[in-house]
């Protein structure tokens, strides 16, 4: 076809003054700060949603302490430890797991609503978008857990032997483990890119992690096979560590165990997340 041979006869490209304003992208730390602030702002943009996310763990706390508290046979429990003091440090971890999966759903939502597409064509470093997501969600989880602890103290007379320091240490350990889990869910989200799949994965991952552990009952009341699973479960170490710190016991190997399993998870999840997130949509 003759027309195919034509070329646009445009004037020689002149250097000309740049029409841009000369903004060439903010530094990495500035971008991380801006993106994290945006995530937090966005997260609490819908006040009702923010309120529900705070109410949910409180309801779990009330139900668990009341329902299981009446059932648990005190003879199976460590001597002199009340169920509320036993269960709250574990609830920190399990509530954290529940909240961590919100990070994955949030990231998928950002991919669906086009924000990620926008970030891809800005001079934004893509791993920072993920890091901001993880930090914002860590802020959210911290808030939820802090509220949980306050409610436990005020309403349910949570008074662990470890005192304020032990409880703070338990909270800190929990947050480290949860941050690794948040990255785990971010990696799933970057790979799966679907809210529906994320929800299924969340259930698939969350419940075994929570229940095949020492979170709600001591390991020795579990059947043999479940006890084996619980021993391999990183959440068991996190729960043990958090509980022992709060109760003022010697945490032993639980703290290094929790930190080591989290570190492994964190490294794997960050690598998978960053790599798969680079893949453009529809490829």
* Binding site residues, another protein, CB under 8 A: 1-4, 6-8, 10-11, 13-14, 16, 18-21, 23-27, 30-31, 34-35, 38, 41-43, 45-46, 113-115, 117-124, 280, 283
The DSSP result for 72-96, as a single string, is S-GGGSPTT--HHHHHHHHHHHHHH
Contact 193/281 with Cβ under 8 angstroms?
Answer: yes
Question: Of 26 and 81, which CB lies nearer to another protein in the complex structure?
Answer: 26
Question: Of 44 and 211, which CB lies nearer to another protein in the complex structure?
Answer: 44
Q: What angle do CA 64, 226, 158 make, to 5 degrees?
A: 25
Residue 163 gets the label, from left (phi > 0), alpha (psi -120 to 50) or beta, of left
Residue 220 gets the label, from left (phi > 0), alpha (psi -120 to 50) or beta, of alpha
Question: Of 60 and 126, which CB lies nearer to another protein in the complex structure?
Answer: 126
Shortest Å distance, C-beta 6 to another protein: 5
Shortest Å distance, C-beta 214 to another protein: 38
Question: Of 39 and 99, which CB lies nearer to another protein in the complex structure?
Answer: 39
Matching residue, tokens 């529809």: 282
Question: Of 6 and 220, which CB lies nearer to another protein in the complex structure?
Answer: 6
Shortest Å distance, C-beta 141 to another protein: 19
Shortest Å distance, C-beta 39 to another protein: 9
Contact 281/111 with Cβ under 8 angstroms?
Answer: yes
Contacts with 274 (C-beta within 8 Å, 6 or more apart), sequence order: 126, 127, 130
Report the C-alpha gap between 26 and 219 in whole angstroms: 51
Report the C-alpha gap between 184 and 234 in whole angstroms: 13
Shortest Å distance, C-beta 103 to another protein: 16
Shortest Å distance, C-beta 18 to another protein: 7
Shortest Å distance, C-beta 154 to another protein: 31
Q: Three-state secondary structure along 140-187? A: HHHHHHHHHHHHHHHHHCCCCCCHHHHHHHHHHHHHHHHHHHHHHHHH
Question: Of 111 and 239, which CB lies nearer to another protein in the complex structure?
Answer: 111
């Amino acid at each position: 076809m003759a027309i195919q041979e034509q070329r646009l006869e445009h004037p020689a490209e002149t250097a000309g003054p740049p029409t841009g304003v000369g903004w060439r992208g903010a530094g990495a730390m500035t971008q991380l700060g801006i993106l994290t602030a945006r995530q937090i702002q966005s997260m609490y943009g819908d006040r009702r949603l923010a309120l529900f996310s705070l109410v949910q763990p409180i309801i779990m706390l009330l139900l668990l302490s009341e329902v299981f508290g009446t059932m648990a046979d005190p003879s199976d429990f460590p001597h002199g430890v009340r169920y509320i003091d036993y269960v709250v440090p574990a609830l920190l971890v399990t509530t954290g797991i529940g909240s961590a999966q919100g990070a994955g759903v949030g990231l998928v939502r950002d991919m669906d609503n086009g924000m990620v597409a926008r970030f891809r064509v800005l001079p934004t470093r893509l791993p920072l978008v993920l890091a901001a997501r993880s930090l914002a969600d860590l802020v959210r989880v911290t808030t939820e857990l802090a509220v949980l602890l306050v409610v436990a103290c005020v309403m349910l007379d949570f008074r662990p032997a470890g005192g304020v320091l032990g409880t703070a240490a338990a909270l800190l350990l929990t947050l480290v483990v949860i941050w690794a889990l948040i990255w785990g869910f971010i990696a799933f989200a970057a790979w799966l890119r679907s809210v529906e799949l994320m929800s299924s994965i969340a259930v698939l991952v969350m419940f075994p992690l929570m229940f095949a552990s020492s979170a709600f009952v001591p390991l020795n009341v579990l059947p043999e096979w479940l006890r084996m699973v619980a021993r391999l479960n990183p959440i068991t170490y996190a729960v043990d560590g958090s509980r022992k710190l709060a109760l003022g016991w010697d945490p032993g190997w639980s703290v290094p165990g929790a930190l080591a399993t989290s570190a492994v998870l964190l490294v794997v999840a960050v690598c998978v997340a960053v790599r798969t997130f680079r893949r453009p949509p529809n490829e």
